């Protein structure tokens, strides 16, 4: 979809074959990670709740591949994809989801709070929109330390109706903070459609209120996401500051562990599934002779194998010792 | 006799007040067709329509603010906050607006509204979806705070809350919602239970257990077990509302038993039972034969992992041990 007047270079073209394949690999990892999480859900092994990212893989992988390892991300409750794209260890992630002591948060966080500080992933958030201010703050550090880093603040369409959205984007805009606000518009906030919750058709139009760039892109096209985020990350580093990117995508699964999905039709879901971001990207890679059908299968199978290992790792890991309960409340 | 779950009792109360009074309406996130995150409003949307069961965007401050504004101008809104933890996003509207308006306007305005919200842990929802924040609300003059422990009370207290002319925080424990174990007979007709009146849920002579919400159920289980196995006869007092607080009922009970164990799910530090304990110490000191003991959660955010969560929240064993300690039998 062409809805903007930005001249965005095709930086993707210049990527090495390895890097391009790595992006596919990550998308497969996310897809199959969620398959296994879903199995755990069915077996009653995910305590509390979790939110699957299936169908939105291009958004996390496109965006995060376009920034550096030293750059930061702030994630959401639907955060498994962001976490994997930023380079988290699948075993440790899966262990956290099962509440094991060797998980990323020692079992204290779970799916909604998974964070991997070592990869500059500042964590998922159980509060819708809760990360918007934190993203501005991380970007403020980048500005103050002049370290030339940028931040991607992920959030949902639903989150854009929270008050903090306005406060954070306004603040980021006046301070020209190097933060890319990336709205993953998957058409619904829980059961409430975007149409029902906003009086405008594009979240990106809200950028006008802050005098920052706003753009809507095809969030199921990993190349488009990559190029757009690359473009604006560069501008952030050049001191131009904040941007609002709206990445149009779709959540294939229910909102969380239990969802009757009365608010949408099966046909609608099927229509969106035809726009499968992984299928689209792998076909591109095959057409452009970057990989063969066989290599694609191989990449997918390797991802599946890695996830299965993560499952086995998590299952045999130990629960935390109960003496942990009151530790980590304060820093020393 | 028909039995209802806690969730069904609250839903019936909503349906009945909405039928009875045109000024009552609901607003909240995903409460429409979807029926609410816990399914509590399922069917109400079809019955009352979108004007009276109003689905809001994800905007807690605005939805609570809208409830306040409509209450001041003649409506009786019921606002749903999906999880009580999200009240913090609307904190100004609750604390500085809803709670203050009447007083700061010299008693000339009233704010008849209910904020219904799911609270408490024990379901693996982790740090931002499991808190017990009642002490924060109770600390604010102008707010009333209701914590029903069973379906019968939930219905009567809810109807009373809607007809109260003040902002009422109605805390519903998510563990109680659908658990049939706690189902009980709930009369079909409308009835109210006055805010500020506790109830003795089990009478006994050896020791008083005072509790709120789900901890009343846990306390009852422990009390029954101790009676059967050890002939220890505990009295269980359910505060039902913590503000206004029925301290007389607690003191009356302590007069009889001479011993008090307070049980709550919130973190112990600054927990509401500190208020109960201090009032009993102040006004009922002469009746006490032993120090007051509090059983509460550990002082940490609610952890995700089942083993840690169970360690944090008061368990039956922990309640039992403290009872025995107070009785000098530990
Ligand atoms: C402050 C707050 N309000 C409500 C919720 C409950 N909730 C969790 S996810 C969600 C929907 C969020 O929608 P969106 O931002 O579009 O993200 P998506 O789930 O679609 O990825 C809601 C209402 C919450 N966790 N926090
Ligand atoms: Mg959404």
A325 Cβ below 6 A of ligand 1? no
Atom of ligand 1 at shortest distance to CA of A156? 15
Q: Tell me how close the Cα of B276 comes to any Cα of chain A, in angstroms.
A: 25
Whether residue A101 and residue B305 make contact (CB cut-off 8 A), yes or no, is yes
In this structure, what are the phi and psi dihedrals at residue A36, rounded to the nearest 5 degrees?
-70, -35
Whether residue A329 and residue B85 make contact (CB cut-off 8 A), yes or no, is no
A48, A76, A109, A321: best to mutate for the B interface, most B CBs within 10 A: A48
Terminal-to-terminal C-alpha distance of chain A: 52
For residue A228, tell me if it sits in a domain. Answer: yes
ipTM of the modeled complex: 0.96
Specify the number of domains making up chain A.
1
The tokens of A58 are what? 């291009």
Q: Is residue B20 pLDDT above 60, yes or no?
A: yes
Report how many Cβ contacts below 8 Å link chain A to chain B.
Answer: 130
d(CA B153, CA B182): 12
* Residue A261 at interface with chain B, using a CB cutoff of 8 Å: no
**Residue from B313, B273, B314, B279 nearest B293 by CA:** B273
Q: Tell me how close the Cα of B126 comes to any Cα of chain A, in angstroms.
A: 6
Query: Active-site residue numbers of B?
Result: 129
Which residues lie below 8 Å from residue A16, measured CB to CB, with a gap of 6+? none
Mean pLDDT of B181-187: 98
A258 pLDDT band, cuts 50/70/90, is: confident
For residue A9, tell me if it sits in a domain. Answer: no
Q: Is residue A3 pLDDT above 70, yes or no?
A: no
Among chain B residues, the shortest Cα distance to A103 is held by B305
Mean pLDDT of B45-64: 98
d(CA A115, CA A110): 9
Domain extent, residue A164, equals 20-317
* Residue A193 at interface with chain B, using a CB cutoff of 8 Å: no
**Residue from B144, B116, B143 nearest B9 by CA:** B116
Q: Is residue B268 pLDDT above 70, yes or no?
A: yes
Tell me the residue ranges of DSSP E strands in B212-276: 234-238, 241-243, 260-267
Mean pLDDT of B135-153: 98
Q: Is residue B316 pLDDT above 50, yes or no?
A: yes
Q: Is residue B98 pLDDT above 60, yes or no?
A: yes
- This prediction has a pTM of 0.97
**Residue from A236, A238, A50, A84 nearest A151 by CA:** A236
If you measure from the C-alpha of residue A52 to the centroid of ligand 1, how many angstroms do you get, rounded to a whole number? 13
d(CA B126, CA A109): 6
Mean residue pLDDT of chain A comes to 97
d(CA B318, CA B295): 7
- Residue whose entry in the numeric block shows the structure tokens 């498994």: A80
Q: Sheet containing A151-156: which strands, arranged edge to edge? A: A72-74, A151-156, A179-185, A243-248, A213-218
The closest residue, in CA terms, to atom 19 on ligand 1 is: A189
Span A150-197, pLDDT tens digits? 999 999 999 999 999 999 999 999 999 999 999 999 999 999 999 999
Span A68-104, pLDDT tens digits? 999 999 999 999 999 999 999 999 999 999 999 999 9
For residue A76, tell me if it sits in a domain. Answer: yes
Among chain A residues, the shortest Cα distance to B312 is held by A325
Which pLDDT does position A2 carry in this prediction?
Answer: 45
B10 Cβ below 6 A of ligand 1? no
What CATH number belongs to B199-326?
Answer: 3.40.50.920
Hey, which of B29, B38, B58, B94 would you mutate to test ligand 1's pocket, going by the most ligand atoms within 8 Å of its Cβ?
A: B58
The CATH number linked to A124 is 3.40.50.970
CA–CA–CA angle A112, A24, A271 (5° rounding): 75
- Residue whose entry in the numeric block shows the structure tokens 């944090």: B312
8 Å CB contact between B246 and B212: no
Span B119-132, pLDDT tens digits? 999 999 999 999 99
Report which DSSP code applies to B268. S
Among chain B residues, the shortest Cα distance to A107 is held by B305
Please name the fold of domain B3-185.
Answer: Rossmann fold (3.40.50)
A5 pLDDT band, cuts 50/70/90, is: confident
Q: Is residue A1 pLDDT above 50, yes or no?
A: no
Q: Is residue B38 pLDDT above 60, yes or no?
A: yes
Mean pLDDT of A254-265: 94
A189 Cβ below 6 A of ligand 1? yes
Domain ranges within chain B, ordered by starting residue: 3-185, 199-326
Whether residue A110 and residue B126 make contact (CB cut-off 8 A), yes or no, is yes
């Amino acid at each position: 979809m062409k809805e903007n007047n930005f001249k965005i270079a095709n930086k993707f073209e210049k990527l090495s074959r390895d890097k391009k394949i790595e992006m596919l690999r990550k998308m497969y990892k996310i897809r199959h990670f969620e398959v296994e999480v879903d199995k755990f859900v069915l077996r009653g092994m995910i305590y509390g709740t979790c939110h699957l990212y299936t169908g939105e893989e291009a958004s996390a992988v496109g965006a995060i591949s376009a920034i550096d390892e030293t750059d930061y991300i702030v994630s959401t409750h639907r955060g498994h994809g962001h976490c994997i794209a930023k380079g988290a260890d699948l075993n440790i992630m899966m262990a956290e989801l099962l509440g094991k002591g060797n998980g990323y948060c020692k079992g204290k966080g779970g799916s909604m709070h998974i964070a991997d500080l070592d990869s500059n992933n500042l964590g998922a958030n159980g509060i819708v929109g809760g990360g918007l201010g934190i993203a501005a703050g991380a970007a403020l550090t980048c500005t103050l330390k002049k370290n030339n880093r940028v931040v991607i603040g992920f959030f949902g369409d639903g989150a854009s109706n929270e008050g903090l959205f306005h406060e954070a984007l306004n603040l980021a805009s006046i301070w020209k903070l190097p933060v890319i606000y990336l709205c993953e518009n998957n058409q619904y906030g829980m059961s409430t459609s975007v149409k029902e919750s906003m009086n405008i058709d594009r979240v990106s139009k809200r950028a006008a209120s802050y005098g920052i760039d706003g753009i809507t892109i095809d969030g199921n096209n990993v190349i488009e996401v990559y190029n757009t985020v690359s473009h604006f990350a560069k501008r952030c580093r050049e001191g131009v500051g904040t941007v609002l990117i709206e990445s149009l995508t779709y959540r294939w699964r229910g909102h969380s562990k239990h969802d009757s999905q009365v608010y949408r039709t099966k046909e609608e879901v099927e229509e969106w599934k035809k726009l499968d971001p992984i299928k689209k990207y792998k076909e591109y890679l095959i057409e452009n002779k970057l990989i063969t059908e066989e290599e694609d299968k191989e990449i997918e199978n390797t991802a599946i194998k890695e996830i299965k290992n993560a499952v086995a790792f998590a299952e045999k890991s130990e629960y935390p010792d109960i003496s942990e309960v009151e530790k980590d409340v304060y820093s020393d | 006799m028909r039995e209802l779950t806690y969730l069904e009792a609250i839903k019936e109360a909503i349906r009945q007040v909405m039928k009875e009074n045109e000024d009552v309406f609901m607003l909240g996130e995903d409460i429409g067709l979807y029926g609410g995150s816990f399914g509590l409003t399922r069917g109400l949307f079809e019955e009352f329509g979108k004007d009276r069961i109003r689905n809001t965007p994800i905007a807690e401050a605005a939805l609570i603010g809208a409830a306040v504004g409509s209450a001041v101008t003649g409506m009786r809104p019921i606002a749903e906050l999906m999880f009580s933890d999200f009240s913090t996003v609307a904190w100004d509207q609750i604390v500085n607006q809803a709670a203050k308006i009447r007083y700061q306007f010299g008693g000339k305005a009233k704010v008849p509204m209910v904020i219904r919200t799911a609270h408490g842990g024990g379901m693996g929802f982790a740090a931002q979806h499991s808190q017990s924040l009642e002490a924060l609300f109770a600390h604010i003059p102008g707010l009333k705070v209701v914590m029903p422990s069973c379906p019968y009370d939930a219905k009567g207290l809810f109807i009373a809350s809607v007809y109260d002319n003040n902002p009422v925080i109605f805390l519903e424990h998510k563990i109680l919602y659908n658990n049939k174990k706690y189902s009980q007979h709930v009369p079909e007709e409308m009835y109210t239970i006055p805010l500020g009146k506790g109830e003795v849920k089990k009478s006994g002579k050896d020791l008083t257990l005072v509790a709120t919400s789900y901890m009343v159920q846990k306390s009852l289980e422990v009390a029954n077990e101790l009676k059967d196995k050890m002939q220890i006869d505990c009295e269980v007092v359910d505060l039902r509302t913590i503000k206004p607080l029925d301290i007389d009922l607690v003191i009356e009970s302590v007069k009889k038993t001479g011993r008090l164990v307070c049980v709550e799910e919130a973190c112990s530090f600054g927990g509401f039972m500190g208020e109960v304990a201090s009032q009993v110490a102040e006004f009922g000191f002469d009746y006490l034969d032993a120090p007051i003991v509090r059983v509460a959660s550990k002082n940490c955010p609610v952890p995700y992992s089942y083993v840690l969560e169970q360690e944090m929240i008061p368990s039956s064993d922990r309640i039992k041990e403290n009872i025995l300690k107070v009785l000098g039998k530990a």
